[in-house]
Amino acid sequence: MLLPTTQPRTIARPEEVERVTFDEAQEEEIRAILGRYPTRQAALLPVLWLAQQRWGWISPGIVQAVAERLELPPAFIEGVLTFYTMYQCRPTGRYLLQVCTTLSCQLCGTSELVSHLKKKLAIGFGETTPDGRFTLVSVECLGACGEAPVIQINDDYYTDLSVEALDELLDGLK
């Protein structure tokens, strides 16, 4: 049996992140990040990670705060934000189910998992269950093909999955 250890993501409501300020703990981390690079701009990816860790997604208000802190144009940050797939620009469910749909996983039965998930959760790719628990997305190769099929849930990989194992796993994620 799979014992999920994955913690739920904290997802801020849109009204909570209309305007944000970094608290002292975050400020301290930002200063440490800035110390690692010769330019301020290089801190952008780590600072976006730090913000997403705290609020669950990157709202326009967060973009504004990062822009002011790193002295970068908001439009530049938007460009970077949307280039990468892992920054969320909208609130997601507490558990982000990222199903690998590239060749090796497909050869080992991913499509069965996908149709099961879609039916069980009654949502399609890119959608969130009405209770805000799960968001289902399709992703490209997760780099764990020897243990296919693979699903990443928040920060954790779950590998060698069958429909039964997946059911048990989801039941454990509250």
- The footprint of other proteins (CB under 8 A) covers 36-39, 41-46, 48-49, 72, 79-80, 83-87, 98, 101-104, 106-108, 139-148, 152, 155-157
Q: Closest CB to other proteins among 74 and 167?
A: 74
Q: Closest CB to other proteins among 20 and 105?
A: 105
Q: How far is the CB of 11 from other proteins (least distance, A)?
A: 17
> How far are the Cα atoms of 32, 35, 67, 135, 136 from residue 94, in angstroms, in the given order?
29, 32, 27, 8, 11
Question: Tokens 């990062």, residue?
Answer: 66
Q: How far is the CB of 5 from other proteins (least distance, A)?
A: 11
C-alpha 58 chain-centroid distance: 11
d(CA 40, CA 71): 8
Q: How far is the CB of 144 from other proteins (least distance, A)?
A: 5
d(CA 60, CA 5): 31
Token duo for residue 18: 């209309």
Q: Closest CB to other proteins among 20 and 81?
A: 81
d(CA 170, CA 159): 14
d(CA 119, CA 117): 5
Q: How far is the CB of 70 from other proteins (least distance, A)?
A: 8
Q: Closest CB to other proteins among 42 and 165?
A: 42
Q: Closest CB to other proteins among 104 and 128?
A: 104
Q: How far is the CB of 126 from other proteins (least distance, A)?
A: 14
